[in-house]
Structure 1
Amino acid sequence: MNTNFFRQEVDTAVDVLLTQQVILYPTDTVWGLGCDAEVPRAVEKLYKLKGREAGKPSIVLVADLAMLRRYVKEVPAGLEAALADQTRPTTYILPASRALAPGLVAPDGTVGLRVVQDEFCHKVVRRLGHGLVSTSANKAGEPTPAVYSEVDPAIVRGVDHVVSWRQDDQTRVAPSRVVRLGADGQLEVVRG
């Protein structure tokens, strides 16, 4: 790994996010569109680019359990154990707090949160200090781009910054598992 290039890519992505802009970046699963999860204007811009309908929220990446706590009303009892046991990227649907941009909250008051393990995403989120929106880098209804070469050129042109990190990586990873944590602490798989 080219450490200087990696560090420069993280720094540039964070600088763009801090100016309330939208980035195209490699996540721990697929290529995604992202912005600061606490900035309504940035979320609206991202949704407009994606052509996403209102009321269809996106996932928010967080650096750790402490950051996750900021975005939920209450952390369910079994969540910490579930995080420790997860073996692949997993998004947890939980009751949202008011710290998030309203467009990220589902009509039922929940939000999908994922403690990111990917080193690049983790560093960006940690440096940003806020959750990072993560929605697939495609127009609504179009196929999800697993690798950079599959991203629609209109999406590339529409973002404020394209991250260069891992553009040549052809590794394909499935979208995250999505689970809802019940009041009893049991996990209900929404998407395997």
Structure 2
Amino acid sequence: MKDEINNALTTLKKGGLILYPTDTVWGIGCDATNADAIDKIFALKKRAESKSMICLVSDFKMLNQYIEEIPEVAYDILKYAAKPTTIIYDNPIRVAENLIAEDDTLAIRVTKDKFCNQLLRKFKKPIVSTSANISGKPTPQSFQQISPEILKGVDYVVNLQPSKKSAKPSTIIKLGLDGKVQIIRK
């Protein structure tokens, strides 16, 4: 795993794209603070730039560095969530502008996946995580279902099996600073 982390790290630092197993599905990732790398993902996925993407962070400490004000309820939701849960927060900071949604929000998941967590701790910045498919096509349920176009379009493919066989996207919850909680995807 150490070699895979180092190879992915080198690619991320150069502004490249990685294809990697996450705590949910196979993801395309890049440095969440690098606008050019994010543009590469939009181009590869043929995704409208108005469609937002998820970021992964290693822990609450990292989360606090990229969200201006975290609603208290977020900690409880994440502490008791039975499956990977992504929360959409208001007022993200220190990430690339083209990653922030038009309503000034950003979706972030604190990952418990061993590989992702170690990579994030070494990288010391959030990593974009968007499903490994062309926009509008089904999310691949396994590595074998990832299209050749995606495989050729990334700079590095992490050679690890996902630690969990979940292959389901995360739950997405939107938390407003006004205390409003909205479930976007179960």
TM-score in terms of structure 1 length: 0.91
1:136 to 90, 106, 131: 131
Q: Report the Cα distance in structure 2 between the residues aligned to 1:136 and 1:92, rounded to whole angstroms.
A: 16
1:110-129 Cα distance to aligned partner (Å, 9 max, x none): 00000001111111111111
Q: Report the Cα distance in structure 2 between the residues aligned to 1:78 and 1:88, rounded to whole angstroms.
A: 17
Distance 1:172 1:64, change over 3 A: closer
- Residue in 1 that maps onto 2:109: 114
1:148 to 135, 143, 148: 143
2:181 counterpart of 1:181: no
Specify every segment of 5 or more residues in structure 1 that has no aligned partner in the other structure, as ranges: 1-5
Q: Report the Cα distance in structure 1 between the residues aligned to 2:21 and 2:66, rounded to whole angstroms.
A: 23
> Equivalent residues in 2 for 1:13-92 (5 A)?
13-92=8-87
Bigger drift between 176-185 and 67-76 goes to: 176-185
TM-score in terms of structure 2 length: 0.94
State the number of aligned residues. Answer: 186
2:3 to 8, 19, 24: 8
Distance 1:9 1:23, change over 3 A: same
Q: Report the Cα distance in structure 2 between the residues aligned to 1:100 and 1:170, rounded to whole angstroms.
A: 28
Q: Report the Cα distance in structure 2 between the residues aligned to 1:14 and 1:150, rounded to whole angstroms.
A: 25
CA shift for structure 1 position 104: 1.1
Q: Report the Cα distance in structure 1 between the residues aligned to 2:23 and 2:164, rounded to whole angstroms.
A: 13
Q: Output the amino acid matched with 2:35.
A: P
1:69-95 Cα distance to aligned partner (Å, 9 max, x none): 122121112122222111110000001
- Residue in 2 that maps onto 1:163: 158
Q: Output the amino acid matched with 2:113.
A: D
Contact kept? 1:29, 1:146, Cα under 8 Å: no
Query: What is the RMSD computed on CA atoms of the aligned residues?
Result: 1.6
Q: Output the amino acid matched with 1:56.
A: K
Distance 1:170 1:117, change over 3 A: closer
Q: Report the Cα distance in structure 2 between the residues aligned to 1:145 and 1:115, rounded to whole angstroms.
A: 22
